[in-house]
Amino acid sequence: MAADLDNYLNEAIELELNVSDLYLLFYNLFPMDSNFWWNLTIEEKNHAALLKNLKDLYHVCHEFPEEIFSANIEELKNANKDIRENIDLFKSHPSRRKAFEYAVHIEESAGEAHFQAFTESNELPDPFEVFRQLNMDDRNHAKRIQNYMLQNAI
């Protein structure tokens, strides 16, 4: 079980870092939206750091909240592959509108939704509650992206 959990968490951490890299690319490609993308870049890096800490905590207390497993490892692997391919695509064919649309797609995918479900759970074991509290402000990326699009006529 520990090896499966480690593999799953490693893939989830990679997903958060890949999304962060994607948003950093958007930060560089679209200066008019740079503050928006920068904030999301930092939040995704924070998600990766929280997952790394969750992994460490598991190795100490040997329990793990089921909510974190809302996606299977294959979904995470596929999402990581898709993001890496799209980073290359956006580098050669930048499109502001498509960047926002793809970001919403990523944030609504099973891969990112796993983190959202975990942070919204009210049933976490006590040792994990601190992680939910730490992430209170780094949530609802899809909704925030959609609102930004509406406010900026994208």
CA distance 29 to 18: 16
Q: What pLDDT, on the 0 to 100 scale, is given for residue 28?
A: 98
In the chain, domain spans: 2-151
Q: 36-59 pLDDT, tens per residue? A: 999 999 999 988 988 888 777 766
Q: 51-98 pLDDT, tens per residue? A: 888 777 766 666 666 655 556 888 899 999 999 999 999 999 999 999
CA distance 64 to 97: 39
Q: What pLDDT, on the 0 to 100 scale, is given for residue 69?
A: 59
pLDDT of 133 above 60 = no
Specify the pTM. Answer: 0.83
CATH number of 2-151: 1.20.1260.10
pLDDT of 143 above 70 = yes
Cα 56 to Cα 61, 73, 150, distances in angstroms: 9, 19, 40
Residue the block writes with tokens 């924070």? 46
CA distance 100 to 149: 7
| Of 29 and 62, more confident | 29
Q: What pLDDT, on the 0 to 100 scale, is given for residue 1?
A: 47
Residue 94 CB partners (closer than 8 Å, separation 6+): 29, 30
Pair 73, 8: CB distance under 8 Å: yes
